[in-house]
Amino acid sequence: MLQLCQVQLELSANRQGRKIFDNLIKGIRYYLAVKAALVLIFLLPIILNVPLPFAPIQIILLEIFMDVAASSGFVAEGMEPDIMKRPPREPKEKILNKPTLTAIFAGAGCLFVAVSFCYLLTHYMTGDTVHAQTVAFAAWKLTHIFLAFNTRSMTQPLLKLGVFTNKVMDAWAVVAIAMLIIVTTVPFLQPLIKTTSLFLMDWLLVVVASFAATFWIDVTKLVRKHH
């Protein structure tokens, strides 16, 4: 009986250890992807000689609220269903291995494409820097959210995982969207945050670009799972 209890404790410790490490890797992938994307997003306008896509106050808000809050969502993420079926991890294997680096650059590419596309299209069509920056700010926040939800699992598509199975990340997403709506619609906040009101077509552009830039991640999971 005592031996059985010991085996169960060891199995439980192994399971929890794998879960913690799994979620740590997910958080690292997400956080570094966001930072890499931010660098790329600022490089392109400099090359094209156009205004930068974010005002300084917007960057501060993004740094304080988006990254840290989203990272806490990964801590609350549940255990992957196949976690105990995986072979033991090589102790000397680097955290930033090829799969992790691939995921980081893929995530960075999602953010870069969505934000740059929305910003440059709006900038060249309207010539209004504040308007274009507001569109970029909205695209950054929404793509952030979509990317975070897609990063919740390395193997499971979001629909199978469940959109509402991580209450912490759900709450963060709701607050982030509410904050975005407030800073783009409340008149006295707009001059402080350097935003302006967006039109319906702006919101449509942002939602479609943000979703399209991240949706392919789940497609690749489905393809891998099928094969």
The residues spanned by each domain of the chain are: 35-77+94-226
Span 67-81, mean pLDDT?
A: 71
- pLDDT exceeds 80 at position 198: yes
Per-residue HEC secondary structure of 138-183 comes to: HHHHHHHHHHHHHCCCCCCCHHHHCCCCCHHHHHHHHHHHHHHHHH
Domain boundaries 35-77+94-226, corresponding CATH code: 1.20.1110.10
- pLDDT exceeds 60 at position 168: yes
Identify which of 145, 128, 121 has the alpha carbon closest to the alpha carbon of residue 205. Answer: 121
- Please provide the size of the chain in residues: 227
Q: How far apart are CA 119 and CA 58, in angstroms?
A: 14
For residue 150, what pLDDT is reported? Answer: 87
- pLDDT exceeds 60 at position 9: no
Three-point CA angle 120, 59, 26, nearest 5°: 95
Q: Which of 43-52, 143-152, 197-206, 211-220 has the highest mean pLDDT?
A: 197-206
pLDDT band at 66 (very low <50, low <70, confident <90, very high): low
Residues contacting residue 42 through CB under 8 Å, at least 6 positions apart: 52, 53, 54
Q: What are the pLDDT digits (tens) for 93-144?
A: 777 788 888 888 999 999 999 999 999 999 999 999 999 999 999 999 999 8
Which pTM does this prediction carry? 0.87
Residue type, 33: A
Q: How far apart are CA 37 and CA 108, in angstroms?
A: 4
In the block, which residue shows the tokens 């910003």? 119
For residue 69, what pLDDT is reported? Answer: 61
pLDDT band at 152 (very low <50, low <70, confident <90, very high): confident
Compute the mean pLDDT over every residue in the chain, rounded to the nearest whole number: 83
